[in-house]
Structure 1
Amino acid sequence: MLEYLNVNHLDYKRSKRTPRSRSWKASFKEYYLDLGRYIQHYATLKKAWNDLETYLGQRCPRMISSLKDGVQEEDLNAMEDQISCKLPDDYRCSFRIHNGQKLVVPGLMGSMALSNHYRSEDLLDIDTALGGFQQRMGLKHCLPLTFCIHTGLSQYMALESVEGRTQYEIFYQCPDQMARNPSAIDMFIAGTSFSDWFTTYVNNVVTGGYPIIRDQIFRYVHDKECVATTGDITVSVSTSFLPELSSVHPPHYFFTYRIRIEMSKNAFPEKACQLDSRYWRIMNAKGDVEEVQGPGVVGEFPKITPGKVYEYTSCTTFSTTSGYMEGYYTFHRLNNKDEVFNITIPRFHMVCPVFKVSTVRMETSQNEYGLNEDEDSTDTDEYEERRIVLDIPPSTGRCPRHI
């Protein structure tokens, strides 16, 4: 039984400070009565929290200091009484270990930054989550798990199987911008349960799947095969989907990508070069192709020397749920401007998460909706211009720095 609770004798003594006169058996019995209902979840979630704390303690110690101590059973019972909904045992178990975090930046549940947009999600404590519990149509019986103070973005957990949602699944809300009814809310699915959602995220963090950049967890996904080496220069790409800048209706899926350009430290000094231009070939899921050429990258013309790394962030949009980009950079040698050559950018795919369409849309006549299926993919450097043309609501957050 003890191994299922993932608590060894020393951990137990530290947590309970049991008197010497009391038997270990009696102490364990008390401990089991307190946490025994979580026997199916405790070991998994305690390990996830331990792994996360160990990893972040070495890389983001400030984030660890924002974590709150766990709550008691009576606190969770009182929460259930107030919302008149049952909390899943895995959620309750996790908050017995840690009651979320303080509303600070950076958030425990990951960040994302563009030149004019910044998101960082905090894991909400039960009191803050209670204040955001939804009863309105479109989000009925939904509890916020995260919150970004810059964008207002939250991930919600459905506490009941209503409005087309499955009980306990987790999602980003996505208002139907083509509906007249404000309760028409589509959903990008983030997890099928709290345990699935949290442990998957932790695994991505502690295995290095999500990079740590300036003491923050960035939710970029790197495909290890998405690497191309041309001569002494290697290019690799990581991508991320931004739900807060995307919509299902109209179909507009926003992705950001982070590119790393590195010259081998063993390269000869005369191999030093400077980037002149970029070429992109962009294809959506329909097979439509767009070609983009332009000077530099994000307004810069980086110089690459042996051992040097240059990284930048950019973005693109699709009107289909997936697409890919590939291309090349054109460089010239610093000691010979006439020596011009191309460096391959590997093909990288972008796929939006599974989503669910609002039941309001499915129950409403199609005559109440407009249709706009035009392709809208674009290279980042034209993003601001295209965003205005498409009348996409501007982001509510501003990035205080360039990553």
Structure 2
Amino acid sequence: MAASIVLNLDSLPSDPLLLILSFLDFRDLVSCSLVSRRLNELTGHNPLWKVLCKKHWLLAEADKSHRGQSWKELFREFYIDLGRYIDHYSMLKESWENLKSYLGQKCPRMIASLKDGAKEEELDAIEAQIGCKLPNDYRCSYRIHNGQKLVVPGLMGSMALSNHYRSEDLLDIETAAGGFQQRKGMRQCLPLTFCFHTGLSQYMALESVEGRVHSEIFYHCPDQLAQDPSAIDMFITGSNFTEWFTSYVQNVVTGEYPIIRDQIFRYVHDKKCVATTGDITVSVSTSFLPELSSVHPPHFFFTYRIRIEMARSALPESACQLDSRYWKITNANGNVEEVRGPGVVGEFPVMTPGKVHEYASCTTFSTTSEHMEGHYTFHQLKNKEEIFDVSIPRFYMVCPPFRESAVRSVCHEAPVGLFNNDNSADTDDFEEEGQLDMNVAGHGGRSHTRTHTQARAQKPKSK
């Protein structure tokens, strides 16, 4: 009878064991290292820790060569310093690096405004100062970069329309702590951003109080119809810091947000929102302006940016000039309004092969969404009697998620339907996008808009 074979770790070849160990995370590798001398030797295998260093700390061969350490030693050093952030660090670090790389090419002066990372003890001191714990992902990001210097333009995006300008800085932790809110209606809220021109900030809820959710990020919006001045509605921009920051960076580095005059402009372009008629293509991007909007009363302010382009391959005799615009505006209730007017923003652009004309305008409405579509009417330069329409693709404007105040108290209920009438306003009277007016409104200032009737009655501006 053949003798039975007893297998043990010492008799097994290294390669299959290393393959098995490669599927373990760093915690399991450390646990395995305590089982036996053989596993202790195998779990110290450099390629295992190289993979973990790259996965969790985004370290490359150059980092190892520069420090002169083994991969396991390098992992241990980073873990001692940043171990509490291991679930967040790689994602946030990658976002920061992608953002800096993109800005270095497109708007390098923003790179100079970034501050070095905060130290762990500095973040601990801020927590003691405000009496609240900071979310780990927020702390992690601030270990990488402690926000930016208070400059214009801000890292978190800009918007400009006629006499209204906004540009949001990403606040450093010390400045943010100085703006920590403990007043009724905004208790335990920490500002993340700030705009010098409007006083606008995005806040993060550090505790689940007053109807907010912990770590949620929002623009605050006073309830103008409530008796209690602490009644604050919220336009929600993120469920946590990681989602908020990484989604913003993704929009920037993919070109979703255009760079205009060395600034990030927060227009969103739906790739389906493009229409071509003959040689002319029209595309639209939109942006919601929370600082000019309110939940009570329902008043939602959007700006849209339109690009009109004639194909380079068009024949010279295709040159034409825009005469008028037509809009069909439909709100969430299905109410439709039609608007006709001369030119665009007071201009009558001439289109020639390869020519691009861009302009920005705005609209307000009292329902949570609306869509617009229409056409421009052109005439041929060689024959003014020859006119034709160019389609404007349908584009949607949807109010971001919002939460009504938990302390709302009104004297009496508004009459049913009072704010459901069709009062959207096509205020196509702003300057061309390439000539945005950077004069600013006062603190919390609002752009002056006209109703449809006024827009139709006023004569177009001269160039």
Q: State yes or no: 1:173 paired with 2:225.
A: no
State the match for 2:424 in structure 1.
377
Partner in structure 2 of residue 207 of structure 1: 254
Residue 159 of structure 2 corresponds to which residue in structure 1?
A: 112
- What are the residue-to-residue correspondences of 1:354-365 with 2, within 5 Å? 354-361=401-408, 364=409
Distance 1:357 1:245 in 2: 17
- Amino acid across the alignment from 1:221: V
CA positional deviation for 1:31: 2.4
Superposed CA RMSD in Å reads: 1.9
1:65 maps to 2:112: yes
TM-score (norm 2): 0.79
1:260 to 285, 291, 307: 307
Q: How does 1:1-40 map to 2 (within 5 A)?
A: 1-2=52-53, 3-11=55-63, 25-26=72-73, 28-40=75-87
Task: Evaluate the alpha carbon distance shift between residue 317 and residue 236 of structure 1 in structure 2; reply closer, same or farther with a 3 A threshold.
Answer: same
The verdict on how the C-alpha distance between 1:394 and 1:35 changes in structure 2, with shifts beyond 3 A counting, is closer
Q: Is 2:448 aligned against 1:396?
A: no
Where do 1:30-109 residues align within 5 Å?
A: 30-109=77-156
Shift of 1:109: 0.5
Residue in 2 that maps onto 1:390:
none
Select the structure of larger CA radius of gyration.
2
Alpha-carbon separation, structure 1, partners of 2:322 and 2:346 = 11
Compared CA separation, residues 12 and 300, structure 1 to 2 (3 A) = farther
State the Cα distance separating 1:122 from its structure 2 match. 0.5
| AA in 2 matched with 1:7 | L
Verify the 8 A CA contact 1:68 1:98 in the aligned structure 2. yes
Q: Aligned partners of 2:276, 2:74: CA distance in 1, in Å? A: 60
Q: TM-score, normalised by structure 1?
A: 0.91
Mapped partners of 1:291, 1:11: distance in 2:
62
Q: 1:376 to 1:119 in 2, by over 3 A?
A: same
126, 132, 141: which one aligns with 2:179: 132
Partners in 2 of 1:179 and 1:398 — Cα distance? 24
How far is 1:214 from its partner? 1.1
Question: d(CA) in 1 for partners of 2:332 and 2:364?
Answer: 12
**Where does residue 318 of structure 2 map in the other structure?**
271
Task: Give the Cα separation in 1 of the matches to 2:239 and 2:270.
Answer: 23
Superposition pairs of residues 146-295 of structure 1, within 5 angstroms: 146-295=193-342
Find the aligned partners of 1:297 and 1:12 in 2 and give their Cα distance.
Answer: 59
| Range moving further from structure 2, 196-205 or 2-11 | 2-11
Deviation digits for residues 291-322 of structure 1 (CA, Å, limit 9, x no counterpart): 11111011111111000000000000110000
Q: Would you say the 8 A contact 1:210–1:221 is kept in 2?
A: yes
Higher strand share: 1
> Do the aligned residues in 2 keep the contact of 1:282 with 1:326 (CA within 8 Å)?
yes
Matched to 1:347, the amino acid is R
Structure-2 separation of matches of 1:376 and 1:397: 18
Query: How far 1:12 sits from its partner (Å)?
Result: 6.3
Residues 178 and 369 of structure 1 are in contact (CA less than 8 Å); yes or no, is this contact kept in structure 2? no
Output the CA distance in 1 between the equivalents of 2:446 and 2:99.
27
SS in 2 for 1:281: strand
What's the CA shift for 1:78?
0.3
Q: Aligned partners of 2:131, 2:202: CA distance in 1, in Å?
A: 20
C-alpha separation in 2, matches of 1:280 and 1:395: 30
Give the direction of change, closer, same or farther, for the CA distance of 1:13–1:125 in structure 2 (3 Å limit).
farther
Q: Which runs of 5+ in 1 are unaligned?
A: 384-392
C-alpha distance in structure 2 between counterparts of 1:194 and 1:375, whole Å:
37
Contact 1:108-1:121 at 8 Å conserved across structures: yes
CA contact (8 A) 2:361 2:429 kept: no
**Secondary structure in 2 matching 1:359:** coil
Once residues 299 and 272 of structure 1 are traced to their aligned partners in structure 2, the CA distance between those partners, rounded to angstroms, is: 20
User: Aligned AA for 1:348?
Assistant: F
- Tell me the secondary structure at the aligned position of residue 360 of structure 1: coil
Amino acid in structure 1 at the alignment position of 2:59: V
8 Å contact kept, 2:153–2:263: yes
Q: How many residues align?
A: 382
Match of 2:351 in 1: 304
Is the contact made by 1:179 and 1:368 (CA closer than 8 Å) also made in structure 2? Answer: no
**Cα gap change, 1:93 to 1:394, in 2 (>3 Å):** closer
Q: How far did residue 375 of structure 1 move?
A: 3.1
Aligned mate of 1:350, from 382, 397, 403: 397
What SS is found at the alignment partner of 1:30? helix
Q: Report percent identity of matched pairs.
A: 70
Deviates more, 1:370-379 or 1:244-253: 370-379
- Matches of 1:302 and 1:53, distance apart in 2: 37
Rounded to whole Å, the distance in 2 between the matches of 1:53 and 1:301 is 39
- Equivalent residues of 1:180, 1:368 under 8 A apart: no
1:34-69 deviation line (CA, Å, top 9, x unaligned): 101100000000000010011110101011111000
Partners of 1:6 and 1:264 in 2: CA distance: 44
Q: 1:10 to 1:382 in 2, by over 3 A?
A: closer
Q: Which amino acid aligns with 2:391?
A: T
The AA in structure 2 aligned to 1:10 is A
